[in-house]
Amino acid sequence: MKIYIYILFKEKFINLDDLIKIFSEININEIIYERKDIEELFKPVIIYPKKIEYIGIGLKKPLKGIQQGLIYSIEFIDYIATFNNEKVYIAIDIHGNTALNNLSLKECYITRLGGEGRTVTVKFSKKRYLWDKIRGLIDSMSSAQEYLVYMLTPSLMRTPLKDLKPLITPRTMSISVANVCVELLAGRLDILGAGFDIRYGVKKPVYASIIPGSLLRIKDKQLTPFEIYRKGLSEIGSKLGYGTFVPLPIS
């Protein structure tokens, strides 16, 4: 059974192999400096998510009584419909030793996951799908001192921002992230919250962030692509997956 890896492309999906192939065929300098829209290049292979909307009513805790006047709507992605009734798995790569190492690879586990606390089945595998693909990219460009980075998750930065340099062109700027100098080619900086702390029952802090789907250029003579990937391109939360990216050679 062939397995395809899909990643977020802005608020849509794209096959990781298609992303790599298209970037290997374009001249990134021509695209950026002539102000061409990168998304136009990917339109033939972009998958648009199908969504389901639910209406909810706020509850009073701890008795969970109905709270008057608090009605909300929320959207969920229908993965099965989005991928034409194919089997869809949410894969998470785990690096290093954690309590999960003690769980059996042969068993399936039932747990609650996500803000809605949905019941899901979890199965562990020694295969790390994203890392296996990225490791091949890194091996092919291990000596590169200049390459592209496609952000898969937000890159959180300490605020106020430091080392923010003047605009190079109307479309690019340079910024230091986790002591790595990057040039923002496409995408944007935004303000993002880091989620909700279940343990303490409070919202986590808000940070300046490079949003997922942004395209960066890295020129670093001190750290290899592998070293930057391993530590994560995020000043906060890199061990939780913030600052995960796909490295791409410059053709």
To the question of domain 128-248 being in CATH 2.60.40.4350, the answer is: yes
Report pTM. Answer: 0.82
| pLDDT value, residue 161 | 65
Asked if residue 75 has pLDDT above 80, the reply is yes
> How far is Cα 70 from Cα 68, in angstroms, rounded to an integer?
6
Query: Which tens digit of pLDDT belongs to each residue from 210-221?
Result: 999 899 999 877
Identity of the amino acid at 172: T
With a cut of 90, say whether residue 246 has pLDDT above it. yes
Query: Would you list the domain boundaries of the chain?
Result: 128-248
Residues 6+ apart with CB under 8 A from 105: 124, 125, 126
Q: Where are the beta strands (DSSP E) in 86-188?
A: 108-113, 118-123, 146-151, 155-157, 173-177, 180-186
